[in-house]
Structure formats: structure tokens, C-alpha cells
Amino acid sequence: MRKRFSCLLAFSFLLACNNNKKSTAETEKSTDTTRIADTQNPPAPVKLLEEILGSYVGAFGDNKITLLIIKAEGDSVLGRSIVGGNDRPFAGTFIKTGREYTVTAKEPGDHKDDGVFQFSINEDSIDLVKGNWKANDVKRPVKTYTLERKKFEYKADVGDYPEASQRLLVPDDLEPYPKSELEFMRNEIFARHGYCFKKKELRQQFEMQDWYVPNTVDIKGFLTDTEKKNIALIKRYEKYAVDYGDEYGR
């Protein structure tokens, strides 16, 4: 009897061990399957808010500004402001209330013209930005603005002297003009590339043009070979205009 009971106990123990091993194996298999599934189906990335990305252009005090929103993800926003010959990055946060995004973004603060942007974009008028900018210098006035979405595009056929970007110029193209007009012709090449001028008088000249969108303060690498040669030629004639005065080109 004792022998039979011992055998029964031993059998029960072996059965429990086997069941435990089977359960462990099934658990490990289930874990491995989960790992494979996680690898094949990673968590979905945070949605990029493409609807508010882009460049917005308009009056900003006495200047024209381009407010470029580069990234909007989670509750963060990154971008650049291009105005007055400066190209400054900004970073901040936004909230969405109903159909409206409200952004608060700061420029770095290591430049005398840095400040804080506050603006809103409504989904019902997604191409407009309305807001204000406060300089870090509290003595400076707050600027308000309404900007319209406008993408920069290089166009060789805009301006008063588009030929300066379309073909090589010859002396006959330049000789009739005084220095001031030659200077305008040369800088118009830069303006077509969205160059944001530091000189106020040049900014004012081009910011009145509908086609002009300030987009950069560095156009190295953007000028075509034709434009580079024309710039050099125009500079030569600007010097001649100074040297010979009223006799030049007459």
C-alpha cells in the first residue's frame, strides 16, 4: 500500500513539473511573440502638424518679415524669423483650442533685436497669422502683424531688370545707366533669391515689390554662374560711373 502511495505521489510530482515547464515555455513563447509584434509594429510617431507649417509674409513695422514655421510636433514649435537683415531661430510651444492654434515662441536672446512672438492661426483661415512681437528690450514698442502664407520661389523673370538673371550682359546693356540704377540692377539679382538686405534703403526699395519674399541672409551657393558674371560686370560699370560722373554713359 505504501509503495503504491509513493508511486502515485511521484507520478503527481512529475506531472506538476511537466505542466510547470509547459506553462513556462508557453509564457516565453508568448513573450517572444509580443517582442516580434512590437518590432514589426512600433508605436505610431507623434503626428506632425503639417497644416501650420510654411512661411508667412507681411508688414512688420517699417519692414517686411518672413515667419517660417519649420516644425510643429507634440506641443512644440520651431522656426525662423527673417527681417531687417537678420535671420533668427525661434522655439516655443503651442496649444490648440477649438480650431485655433496659439503659439508662444522665443528667439535665443543673444542678439539686440531678439524678442518673443505670440501669434495664432485659425483652421478656418489657415493661411493667415495674427499676433504680436515683444522685444527683450522693454523700451522698444510692441509690434503687431497680420501675415499671409507665401512660399518663397526663385523666379528669374521678375523685377525691372530680369535680363541680369537670364543672360550674360554686355556693355550696351549697362552704359546708359547712372550708378544708382546700376546698383539697383545688381541688388535686384540678390532680391530674386530672397536676400534680406541689412541696408534700410535697399530693403525699402525691394519690400514694395509683390514678388519679393525675404528668405535668407546668405545666398552663397544660390547665385547662378550667369548672375555671378553679371554682378562682376555691373560692379565695374558702377566704378566707371563714379570715376567719370556725368560724362559716363552719355
Q: What pLDDT score was predicted for residue 15?
A: 46
- Residues 120/131, Cβ–Cβ less than 8 Å: yes
Which residue matches cell numbers 523700451? 139
Each residue of 131-143: pLDDT tens digit?
Answer: 999 999 999 999 9
Q: What is the pTM of this model?
A: 0.72
Tell me the per-residue pLDDT of 78-105, one tens digit each, with 9 for 90 and over.
999 999 999 999 999 999 999 999 999 9
**Which residues, 6+ apart, have CB-to-CB distance to 233 below 8 Å?**
169, 174
Whether residue 214 contacts residue 150, with contact meaning beta carbons closer than 8 Å, is answered with no
181 closest CA partner among 246, 230, 238: 238
Q: What is the identity of the amino acid at 58? A: G
Q: What is the pLDDT of residues 115-170, one digit of tens each?
A: 999 999 999 999 999 999 999 999 999 999 999 999 899 999 999 999 999 999 99
